[in-house]
Structure 1
Amino acid sequence: MAHRVDAHQRHASKEKASDPVDRPESPHIEEGKQTSANGVLEALGYEPELVRNRSTLQVAFMSFVLAAIPYGLATTFTYPLVGGGPVNIIWGWLAVSLIILCVAVSLGEITSVYPTAGGVYYQTFMLSPPSYRRIASWICGWSYVVGNITITLAVNLGSTLFLVSCINVFESSPGVGIFQAETYQIFLLFLAVTFLANAICAYGNKWLPYLDTFAIFWTFFGVIAIIICVLAIAKEGRHDAEYVFTSFEPQSGWPAGWSFCVGLLQAAYSTSSTGMVICMCEEVEKPATQVPKAMVGTVIINTLAGFLFLVPLVFVLPDIQILNALQSGQPVPTIIKSAIGSSVGSFMLLLPLIVLSLLCVIGCTTAVSRSTWAFARDGGIPGSKWWKRINNDGVPFNAMMLGMAVEVLLGFIYFGSTTAFNAFTGVGVITLTLSYACPIVVSLVGGRKQVRNGQFYCGTFGLVCNIISLAWSLLVIPLFCMPTSIPVSAETVNYAPVVFVAFILIASAWYWVWGYEKYSGPPTVDDEYNPSEVW
């Protein structure tokens, strides 16, 4: 697959000579591995700039932290409760996990051929015909960056609200928590979480792989503690297996079939981060094999972890009507407290989820900085010369600060309308899903010719995974645009479609106003690139 080089596409424009940076070599990576990985990157047209300090396990651990199972399931537990109860919670999770495994396989095949921090937008450019590759990669790139930022924004606020709900297992009087947070207090906590995560990512980059490793063991022991304590104590009794695995109680007002689909939002949100880890390709030893394996392996681990977390909660599930009426929108603390019967004991069991939520915020912040930096490196963002800079520690600090600034500005919407703010959660999932679908669909339309050169080629199974992934994308996008229950009121209306359509119109208009002349896309190379030969 040969590509001709246009002069303006050369990355001599990266101003390497005028912006010299000394970056430390990672002592943990053998020189041969560094050279091999950097050789692939150079074959793709880029100068190595980031520090390759992550092993296969460490990038898998980061992928796990991005999904943050079981924290991600805990904060969105209300969706399957409204959608259909136990059947939605258990079987919906397993069904979506199998679908997301197909997404991971599909993206893994493509990533093994194009392992760069640009991720899906770079892949879309390279796989698309020259006639529309720039506009396709532009839409995909903006979807990927916006998706990373809005999902991180949702995780930051979700962590804040979950923390408040966990604190309120301590009550000043029956049914009244000790911390009835005002809107401004929620916002200040949100700022504290956001600033802390960015500070850790900016100044503790070399320690991030160890935090991700810690998260795995912390989560494992936390989930085991929840399983044992909830099932053993079960203050209000236990349901039988028939209730847990067969009870379907739609509460949304929608017809049963669509109500079940509404309940899938929990699993869809929790697994939306599957492709975010691709932006770490330039910080691992052998990205063409490590990142695909990490994505697929993490989905399998998450499926098991989620199942083990959800089943005990359903066995001790209180009345669903009471849970749906909670003002906090966070039923898991209430479920655990009803099973344990002790405020202190409940908070101790929730503590692993609180810590995991903060680790998830850090992982998402890292992904935002890398995805924004990579798109800026190819001129996809106005002011790219500022956002593509790397500091002395190998961190895209300016891109990180840009992402943080956008998150804080969008956070002010919470003062005006929590409903409007919640739309950004839906938009995050929609835009990430769209960005994942872009390289898959152009690869499929092109006959999957390029992925055959990769080291993660899955043959006919990969083709089936492509079809399932695209069918899922066609369901998720309208699903996140619909209200979760009817009849619809000002408090329950879903603004996600408005925000999403506005984003598409703005991104498209900005391309014709600015991008058409300024955006050249990723670099192309003179020589034919064959990943199997490079490795």
Structure 2
Amino acid sequence: MDDKIHGEAETAPHLKEKGLDPLTHSTVNASGHEDSLQRQYHLIATFSVALTIDSAWTALGGSLAIAIGMGLYITLIYWLTQKANGGPAGVLYEYLVACFCYLLIGASLAEFASSIPSTGGVYHWASVASGPRYGRMVGFFAGLCNFFAWMFDLAGAYSIASSSVLGMYSIWNDAYVPQAWHAYVTFVVLVFISCLVLIFGNRWLPVLNQIGAFLVVGGGLITIIVCATMSQHAPSSFVWSNFSENNVTGWSDGVAFMIGVLNGAYTIGTPDGVTKLAEELPNPSHDMPKAIFVQVGIGTISGFLYAIAILYSITDLDAVVAGEFPLTVIYGQATGSAAGAFGLLLILFLNVFVACITTYLAVSRAWWALARDNVTPLAKLFKQANSRLSCPIQSVIFVGIFCCGLGAIQLGSAAAATDLFGSFIILSTLSYALAIAAHLLTRRRNIPKGPFWMGSAGFAINLSALAVILVLDVFFCFPALYTTTVSTMNYNSVILVGLALLITAWWLVHGRSNYPTPKVLSLYTKDGLM
């Protein structure tokens, strides 16, 4: 198909300039495929998608909503309740460092998104940046690594949403004792509802995301104001000081600080989320870079202010530690009433649930993009898209089933499930690193210049982003405690190696012989851009 398209394009430049297939006059997008989905996300809707997927302050608070009683281990809970990694002061300062790092990463990804506005995102950027010789293999690994990262993040998001539901229920039922299966049933129900929304309500998704963005900004502002205006607060020394005194990890302050940046990264680390909807935007080359910077900027501010408000609201740390739902206890201390705590928790749940739906949307598009290029098993099935519903239905259903399967892990081992969900940051940044490293090693020559191009500053920013990823990912594999046990061990490195072996095996079994050169690589090569 590519040979015919590009061969004919030479005799029909007016069609090529309009992005049309000279044979069928149908639109050929930046991925090299014909458009299959409606381009319905204008600029504000695009910003809304980026903000909703990230939902920085809810990611921060939602991690506290996970029930300690169900055995789930979230690092922020440990830092606050056990005073590790610098305590509350560590949470704040480590968060700011994470946001700065993601500003560098986001700038690098924004440049890619502007140049190659494809739903494949990192997968296609790594393919083109690596050039014709290595692009096929590098893109294959980057694409699958990125997909699994987002798949684990999606399961983690639904875990937060389901725990928030149980937290709201517990406010009015003091005798309630949460069980793992309660959370899982809620998890499955929320995934099922989301699946129906994505399949049958696609045309309403831009509106839903704008509601989500309103909840991110408005709901966050309401929560911050409520927490900040209550009469009782923790002393400033509890919030801003005593980092060394609160570092009980056994690591030096510097190492403990670097390990602690992980929580901030989990809160802000979704810069490529919006790029998975590139082929549903009328003007993706211009709008996606803006959306990435809006996400990082607003996410940084909202998350930081929320963290301050929450930390000042903790007046009885022992009660937070003893509670089944820590955030519920904190909200109760902040408002002084069950109704107030319920209201704030409801705001968080609505925000998280919309974020779950939008993240589900993005992950299904990522799987669909891989299937179009025959990366996945059963690619002929998953590459299909329903033109009437503007939805790759099979991919949406698959992602939902996969997500429920991941959620079921907590029934057997909650710690294993949480480690898997938490590996999102390492796996996603590793996929970014493959694309950025290829971009640097080819002296930034293979990626065409888009509307957002960093010029001479690009090399320094790309190099800084790559260095940040490599350094942080090493620390993120360290255990939280210097003296560790099986239960407190950090299994990120095990997950990383296991996934690398899985992708390598799939490459040897399928990719090496059955995965063709992706259309995006053929497109940019044949257009003389390399």
TM bucket, shorter chain: 0.7 to 0.9
Shift of 1:267: 1.2
Amino acid at match of 2:485: S
Aligned CA distance change for structure 1 residues 244 and 295 (closer, same or farther; 3 Å): same
**1:89-128 superposed matches below 5 A:** 89-128=91-130
Aligned CA distance change for structure 1 residues 486 and 342 (closer, same or farther; 3 Å): farther
Amino acid at match of 1:334: V
- The alignment partner of 1:145 has SS state of helix
- The alignment partner of 1:168 has SS state of helix
Shift of 1:315: 2.2
2:459, 2:353 → 1: CA distance?
A: 37
Aligned CA distance change for structure 1 residues 517 and 451 (closer, same or farther; 3 Å): closer
Amino acid at match of 1:207: W
Q: Which position in structure 2 is the counterpart of 1:69?
A: 56
CA contact (8 A) 1:79 1:264 kept: no
Aligned CA distance change for structure 1 residues 349 and 327 (closer, same or farther; 3 Å): closer
Amino acid at match of 1:386: L
Shift of 1:408: 1.6
Check if 1:509 corresponds to 2:496: no
Q: Which position in structure 2 is the counterpart of 1:348?
A: 343
Q: Indicate which of 390, 395, 398 corresponds to 1:399.
A: 395
Check if 1:180 corresponds to 2:167: no
Moved more, 182-191 or 460-469: 460-469
Deviation by residue 1:41-94 (Cα, 9 ceiling, x = unmatched): 446521111110001221111111111121101133425433212322222222
Supply the RMSD in Å over aligned alpha carbons.
2.7
1:91, 1:166 → 2: CA distance?
A: 30
Check if 1:331 corresponds to 2:323: no
Deviation by residue 1:66-124 (Cα, 9 ceiling, x = unmatched): 11121101133425433212322222222211211111110111111111111111111
Aligned CA distance change for structure 1 residues 143 and 79 (closer, same or farther; 3 Å): farther
Q: Which runs of 5+ in 2 are unaligned?
A: 7-14, 64-75
Amino acid at match of 1:396: P
Q: Which position in structure 2 is the counterpart of 1:277?
A: 274
Aligned CA distance change for structure 1 residues 101 and 36 (closer, same or farther; 3 Å): farther
Shift of 1:6: 7.2
Aligned CA distance change for structure 1 residues 365 and 70 (closer, same or farther; 3 Å): same
2:509, 2:469 → 1: CA distance?
A: 29
CA contact (8 A) 2:30 2:118 kept: no
Q: Which position in structure 2 is the counterpart of 1:29?
A: none
Q: Indicate which of 136, 139, 146 corresponds to 2:138.
A: 136
CA contact (8 A) 2:51 2:294 kept: no
Check if 1:464 corresponds to 2:460: yes
Aligned CA distance change for structure 1 residues 483 and 104 (closer, same or farther; 3 Å): same
1:93, 1:399 → 2: CA distance?
A: 34
Moved more, 121-130 or 482-491: 482-491
Q: Indicate which of 58, 61, 65 corresponds to 2:45.
A: 58
CA contact (8 A) 2:108 2:465 kept: yes
Shift of 1:529: 5.8
- The alignment partner of 1:379 has SS state of coil
Q: Which position in structure 2 is the counterpart of 1:262?
A: 259
Deviation by residue 1:326-361 (Cα, 9 ceiling, x = unmatched): 464x53322221122211111112211110010111
Q: Which position in structure 1 is the counterpart of 2:359?
A: 364
Amino acid at match of 1:192: V
2:358, 2:223 → 1: CA distance?
A: 24
**1:312-461 superposed matches below 5 A:** 312-318=309-315, 320=317, 323=320, 325-326=321-322, 328=324, 331-391=326-386, 392-451=388-447, 453-461=449-457
Q: Which position in structure 2 is the counterpart of 1:18?
A: none
1:264, 1:116 → 2: CA distance?
A: 30
- The alignment partner of 1:129 has SS state of helix
TM-score, normalising length: structure 1: 0.86
CA contact (8 A) 2:374 2:516 kept: yes
Q: Indicate which of 303, 307, 326 corresponds to 1:306.
A: 303
Q: Which position in structure 1 is the counterpart of 2:77?
A: 78
2:29, 2:483 → 1: CA distance?
A: 56
**1:13-28 superposed matches below 5 A:** none
1:159, 1:251 → 2: CA distance?
A: 31
Shift of 1:444: 1.2
Q: Which position in structure 1 is the counterpart of 2:527?
A: 528
TM-score, normalising length: structure 2: 0.87
Shift of 1:36: 6.2
Shift of 1:494: 2.8
Deviation by residue 1:234-271 (Cα, 9 ceiling, x = unmatched): 43x3423x543333122434322222223222211122
Deviation by residue 1:165-207 (Cα, 9 ceiling, x = unmatched): 34334462xxxxx432212211111111111111111111111
Check if 1:489 corresponds to 2:485: yes
Deviation by residue 1:394-452 (Cα, 9 ceiling, x = unmatched): 10110111111111222222111101111211222221111111111111111122456
CA contact (8 A) 2:258 2:472 kept: no
Check if 1:203 corresponds to 2:200: yes
Aligned CA distance change for structure 1 residues 42 and 72 (closer, same or farther; 3 Å): closer
Deviation by residue 1:149-174 (Cα, 9 ceiling, x = unmatched): 111011111221233234334462xx
CA contact (8 A) 1:79 1:265 kept: no
Shift of 1:505: 0.5
Q: Indicate which of 225, 232, 240 corresponds to 1:245.
A: 240
1:276, 1:220 → 2: CA distance?
A: 18
CA contact (8 A) 2:89 2:242 kept: yes
Shift of 1:226: 2.0
Amino acid at match of 2:249: S
Aligned CA distance change for structure 1 residues 382 and 322 (closer, same or farther; 3 Å): same
